Amino acid sequence: MLDTTCWYGETAPADWEGRAQKALRDGLDSLAAFQLNRWFSAGFAEQNPEMGERLLDVFRSNDLDHYAATCRAMGAMDLRALVPAITAPTTVIVGAQDPATDAELLRQLIPDTGLHVIPRCSHLSAVERPDAIARLLEADLFTRI
C-alpha cells in the first residue's frame, strides 16, 4: 500500500466538503497550490516545475461535479473495520511528510504488515522518490519469495 489510508479522521467530512465547495465555487485551479503542498515536500514542486504542472494538468481536467462527489465519498470513507480482513502479507509505504496517510494505523490493523517511511517526501512518494520506492518494493518482494 503506497501513500494510502483507510480513514481520514473525525474532521474528514467537513474537510472534504470544504474542498468540494471550493472547487465548485472557484474551479479546480483554485486548489492548485493546496494540492502541490499536499502532494510534495517543501521545494520539490519548485525544483521540478514540469512535473508539478503535468500533475496539475491532470487534476484540472477533472469534471467538477465528479470531483465534488469524490471529495464527499473520501470524507465519508471509513474502512477501519474492513482492513483487518486483509490476510496477504502487506507492505505499507508512506512519505514522511504525507499529511493524508496514517500509515501507523494501517500497520496496526493489518496482520503481517511491514511499514516503511520514506524521508524527504510527501503524498506522492512514487513521484518524488521513485528510487527509494523501487528499492523497497524489490527488497520486500525478494524477502517474501
Residue 95 forms beta bridges with which residues?
118
Residue 60 vs residues 32, 56, 105, 118: alpha-carbon distances, Å: 8, 6, 31, 28
pLDDT (tens place) for every residue of the chain, 145 residues total: 999 999 999 999 999 999 999 999 999 999 999 999 999 999 999 999 999 999 999 999 999 999 999 999 999 999 999 999 999 989 999 999 999 888 899 999 998 888 999 999 999 999 999 999 999 999 888 886 6
pLDDT of residue 68: 99
With b for 16 or more beta-carbon neighbours within 10 A and e for fewer, the 70-106 pattern comes to: ebeebbeeeeeeebeebeeebbbbbbebbebbbbebb
Number of other residues whose CB lies within 10 A of the CB of residue 23: 19
Q: Locate cell 521545494: which residue?
A: 43
Report the alpha-carbon angle 71-33-133, nearest 5.
75
Q: What is the pLDDT of residue 140?
A: 85
What's the pLDDT at 141? 82
Its pTM stands at: 0.90
Looking at residue 40, what DSSP letter applies? S
8 Å CB contact between 129 and 95: yes
